[in-house]
Amino acid sequence: MKHRKAQAAMDYLLTVGFAMLIIVSAFGLFISVSQRSQKQISQERINIVGRAIQENANLVYFQGEDSRITIDADLPDNLMDISVFCYNNNGSLGDVKTCINSEIVFTFNDLSERVFLLKNVPMDELISSDFLAGSKKLQVLVTKSGDRDFVLLTDMPGVGYSYEQCSTAEGSYCDVMENVMPGFKSSCCNSYGFCCG
């Protein structure tokens, strides 16, 4: 009799232990897949935005000065920064007056990066410091630096800028944007809800 109770208890423990092993393994697999899926979704969203910027930068650059395109970008929550680097013929960093090729770098919270290259397109960026993930409007436009056209990537002017960022002093945001979009200084107060000046 004792032997049967011991056998039944042992069978019960093995069955419960085996079931727990399966449940814990399945839960771990689910967590792993969902985390990997989130990262893949973020990467795919950046691929879509990056390719759109890349294609439109080429398009507006070859159309010439005053060409612009607005991109509706759905940026993932784990995006930390967007940077643009310009390279000279010898591969060293340059500025838009001297560079030949550009690269757009998306940096994520885990410090991984996604890079998009632009051949024969000088490019710079003017992205606000409080740029956040989510649905954004990015503008790809052509402007001049001296006598040379270059592409500028910017978030829509005026979104999230404080009064201090909007002074008209030389080199200020409004002053820079006035060069990119003539009339910006005078229109920003009414159009964007803050005053330059």
Distance (Å, whole) CA 80 – CA 119: 25
Q: What pLDDT is stored for residue 98 in this prediction?
A: 74
Could you say which DSSP state residue 125 is in? E
What's residue 178's pLDDT? Answer: 66
The reported pLDDT for the residue numbered 164 is 38
What is the average pLDDT score of the chain? 73
- pLDDT at 53 > cutoff 70: yes
CA distance to 31, 39, 40, 172, per residue, from 35 (Å): 6, 6, 9, 42
The region that residue 119 occupies, defined by phi over 0 for left and psi between -120 and 50 for alpha, beta otherwise, is beta
148-167 pLDDT, tens per residue?
777 877 775 533 333 334 45
Go through the chain and tell me how many residues it has: 197
Mean pLDDT of the 93-118 span: 80
**In this predicted structure, what is the pLDDT of residue 149?**
76
Residue 123 pLDDT greater than 60, yes or no? yes
